[in-house]
């Protein structure tokens, strides 16, 4: 998005502030960043990280609907891997539209389907093998929202110049399959994974044996980036 110095940016669903911190560095000290998230533990983690050499970051506890921000306040708004978890996605896009200044840009990233994300597919297939198809279907939520649907929602609430970009990037998990299994703890199947954790890890190791070496597990991840302008 190459934000200009002095930009005021909003990162919705900031989690531990990963994107907010990238924005702060890119914008520089004359700008400002607000990161929102409904999870206070995530915001506490974000606030405890060392200060970024760039724009100040303010963290605010709220979900995507409603956003606790002023109308027409931001030049750039980002959502990374968040919208698929929002129950009313149209309302979330409407909130982004409300928060955006005229001419402001938005950037929304969502994962492409599991067949385009081999690492996550390995986790999914392990769940199917160990816990069964119903829980495997529950695990699929993060990869359930196509970029085309995001683009349609953006147009419906009044954004223009809507574009989709598919991005596939090489990915290495240094801790190997065992480290990747931490994602079970943050997923919808977390309550069911604990008693079968050893079986799940063994299944993931088997699924990723072909791309695992002493340095970790190597593959790729694929997402769609939807950009638009208010």
CA distance 166 to 93: 20
Is 45 domain-assigned?
no
Is 1 domain-assigned?
no
For the chain, how many structural domains are there in total? Answer: 1
Which of 75, 82, 21, 17 lies closest to 53 in space, CA to CA? 21
Question: Are 83 and 152 spatial neighbours (Cβ–Cβ below 8 Å)?
Answer: no
3-state secondary structure of 103: strand
Question: Are 111 and 85 spatial neighbours (Cβ–Cβ below 8 Å)?
Answer: no
The whole-number pLDDT of residue 186 equals 86
Q: Model pTM?
A: 0.92
Is 14 domain-assigned?
no
Four-residue CA torsion sign, 81, 82, 87, 89: negative
* CATH value at residue 112: 3.40.50.150
Is 46 domain-assigned?
no
CA distance 222 to 225: 10
Q: What is the pLDDT along the chain (230 residues), one digit of tens a residue?
A: 889 999 999 999 999 999 999 999 999 999 999 999 999 999 999 999 998 999 999 999 999 999 999 999 999 999 999 999 999 999 999 999 999 999 999 999 999 999 999 999 999 999 999 999 999 999 999 999 999 999 999 999 999 999 999 999 999 999 999 999 999 998 999 999 989 999 999 999 999 999 999 999 999 999 999 999 99
Is 8 domain-assigned?
no
The whole-number pLDDT of residue 207 equals 98
Domain span at residue 143 reads 64-229
DSSP state of 4: P
Q: Give the list of residues 6+ apart from residue 192 with CB closer than 8 angstroms, or none.
A: 131, 135
3-state secondary structure of 116: helix
């Amino acid at each position: 998005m190459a934000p200009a110095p002095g930009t005021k940016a909003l990162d919705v669903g900031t989690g531990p502030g990963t994107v907010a911190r990238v924005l702060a560095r890119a914008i520089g000290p004359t700008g400002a960043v607000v990161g929102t998230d409904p999870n206070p533990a995530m915001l506490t983690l974000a606030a405890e990280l060392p200060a970024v050499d760039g724009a100040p970051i303010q963290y605010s506890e709220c979900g995507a609907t409603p956003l606790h921000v002023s109308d027409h306040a931001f030049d750039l708004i980002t959502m990374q891997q968040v919208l698929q978890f929002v129950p009313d996605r149209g309302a979330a896009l409407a909130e982004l539209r409300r928060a955006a200044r005229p001419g402001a840009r938005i950037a929304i990233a969502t994962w492409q389907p599991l067949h385009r994300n081999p690492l996550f597919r390995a986790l999914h297939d392990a769940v199917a093998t160990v816990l069964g198809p119903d829980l495997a279907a529950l695990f699929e939520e993060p990869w359930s929202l196509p970029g085309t649907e995001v683009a349609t929602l953006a147009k419906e609430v009044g954004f223009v110049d809507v574009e989709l970009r598919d991005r596939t990037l090489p990915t290495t998990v240094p801790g190997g399959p065992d480290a990747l299994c931490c994602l079970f703890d943050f997923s919808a199947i977390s309550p069911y994974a604990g008693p079968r954790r050893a079986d799940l890890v063994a299944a993931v190791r088997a699924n990723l044996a072909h791309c695992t070496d002493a340095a970790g597990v190597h593959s790729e991840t694929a997402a769609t980036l939807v950009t638009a302008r208010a």
